[in-house]
Copies of this chain bind each other. A is one copy, B any other.
Amino acid sequence: MGVTIKDVAKKAGVAPSTVSRVIADNSRISLDTKKRVRKAMKELGYHPNINARNLAVRSSQAIGVVMPSSTDKALQNPFFPEILRGIGSVAHGTEYSLYVSTGGTEEEQFEEVKRMVFGNRVDGIILLYSRANDEVTNFLFEKNFPFVIVGKPYAYENQITYVDNDNVRASREITQHLIDLGHQHIGFIGGSTERLVTVDRMEGYMTALKEAGLPVRDEYKVQTEFLESGGRKAVEELFSLDQPPTGLVIADDLVSLGVINMLEQLNFHVPEDISIASFNNVYLSEITRPPLTTVDIQIYLMGVHASRCLIEKVKAKDEPAKRIIVPHKIMYRQSTKKKEL
């Protein structure tokens, strides 16, 4: 370890600063010297020391990615590797590196973020969640540190750059789809209402019902993050109502999977007895039985946009707050079906 810019300089017979300028491909260096220097670099196997450079330019060419805090299963959602892939692809293209913080408790998460920010480890941060009254968001916002949210910010909506889907509309459309299929009793299963995405999707669901003149029944709305005992019970209750739903809008493909399984145990069949429509279109949604009708939210693309926005923002700190709505697309598959009369 340890061929430095000075070694290269000596070998090429120039000053270190010249080498530095060659690296930056500065136009003020003659082609001749550039060639000579590059040759020396290659011969010595020189690679710049990032830490030294970062120290000098007070940046880090790295972006931080913060996953939601969670000690449990939530992270097993393929959503995360997929969005990471999107973020990573542009990061790589622009020579940025990725720093990730993987949940743990909210407290730990906050610490990690502080480490990233104060330690100058990253130039900007992408938040892979949006939660009410989130310490991290507030911190970043107050510090005026470049960050973008994947999802909708809880506050300061037009001062924060974020990339999201039009979840309200998507949810309205997919609910509408169930209605079009003749369903009159449609339930909704979503995660915690602390998460903005749940709120939006629920709103879209309700809007569609209202537009169709259908009643919005509270008993039809279930909140469960994952199908642990609590959620299980909620679903069971839903289906022991006098009038159980014949259609279900579910906020996440993975949850749909669990629900379908549970329904089969209760001897309800999908889609014969009950239609299910959900969100995300992760890979597995096309290989389950039945394949899921789901909203393709284009996760990868969201990652790409988030990454791009962040980098723009990092480069020009006064870049105005942007909102990017990634278009969705409904994937009609076999988990929804016309209601038999």
Proximity string of chain A (62-87) to chain B, C-beta cutoff 8 Å, 1 when within and 0 when not: 10000100000101111011101101
| Distance A108 CA – B87 CA, assembled complex (angstroms) | 14
Q: Which of B60, B258, B282, B289 contacts A76 (CB 8 A)?
A: B282
Inter-chain contacts of A287 with B (CB < 8 A): 227, 254, 257-258, 261
B76 engages A102 (CB within 8 Å): no
Inter-chain contacts of A75 with B (CB < 8 A): 81-82, 84-85
Distance between A243 CB and nearest chain B CB, rounded to angstroms: 25
B47 engages A55 (CB within 8 Å): no
The size class of the interface chain A forms with chain B is: 35 or more
Q: Which of A171-193 contact B (CB under 8 A)?
A: none
A84 engages B55 (CB within 8 Å): no
Inter-chain contacts of A48 with B (CB < 8 A): 119
A264 engages B289 (CB within 8 Å): yes
| Distance A108 CA – B75 CA, assembled complex (angstroms) | 26
Stretch with Cβ within 8 A of B (4 or more), from A93-101, A157-165, A200-208: A93-101
Closest to A257 in B: B287
Q: Does A112 contact B (CB under 8 A)?
A: yes
Proximity string of chain A (24-52) to chain B, C-beta cutoff 8 Å, 1 when within and 0 when not: 00000000000000000000000111111
A103 engages B88 (CB within 8 Å): yes
A120 engages B51 (CB within 8 Å): yes
Inter-chain contacts of A288 with B (CB < 8 A): 257, 261, 288
Q: Does A284 contact B (CB under 8 A)?
A: yes
Q: Does A260 contact B (CB under 8 A)?
A: yes
| Distance A261 CA – B257 CA, assembled complex (angstroms) | 13
Q: Does A230 contact B (CB under 8 A)?
A: no
| Distance A49 CA – B56 CA, assembled complex (angstroms) | 12
Q: Which of A125-181 contact B (CB under 8 A)?
A: none
Q: Which of A275-326 contact B (CB under 8 A)?
A: 282-284, 287-289, 291
Closest to A258 in B: B287
Distance between A161 CB and nearest chain B CB, rounded to angstroms: 20
Q: Does A223 contact B (CB under 8 A)?
A: no
Given contacts A75-B81, A78-B76, A257-B284, contact A50 B119 (CB under 8 A): yes
B84 engages A76 (CB within 8 Å): no
Inter-chain contacts of A87 with B (CB < 8 A): 102
Q: Does A195 contact B (CB under 8 A)?
A: no
Inter-chain contacts of A97 with B (CB < 8 A): 99, 101, 112, 115-116, 121
| Distance A299 CA – B51 CA, assembled complex (angstroms) | 33
Q: Which of B55, B100, B102 contacts A51 (CB 8 A)?
A: B55
| Distance A138 CA – B62 CA, assembled complex (angstroms) | 26
Given contacts A85-B103, A100-B84, A102-B84, contact A76 B283 (CB under 8 A): yes
Inter-chain contacts of A116 with B (CB < 8 A): 97
13 pairs from A and B in contact (CB 8 Å cutoff)? A51-B54, A51-B55, A75-B81, A75-B82, A80-B81, A87-B102, A88-B103, A89-B102, A92-B101, A92-B102, A92-B108, A97-B99, A261-B288
20 additional contacts (CB under 8 A) given A89-B104, A97-B112 = A47-B119, A48-B119, A49-B55, A49-B119, A51-B52, A51-B119, A62-B99, A67-B81, A75-B84, A75-B85, A76-B283, A81-B102, A85-B102, A89-B102, A92-B104, A95-B115, A257-B288, A258-B287, A261-B291, A284-B284
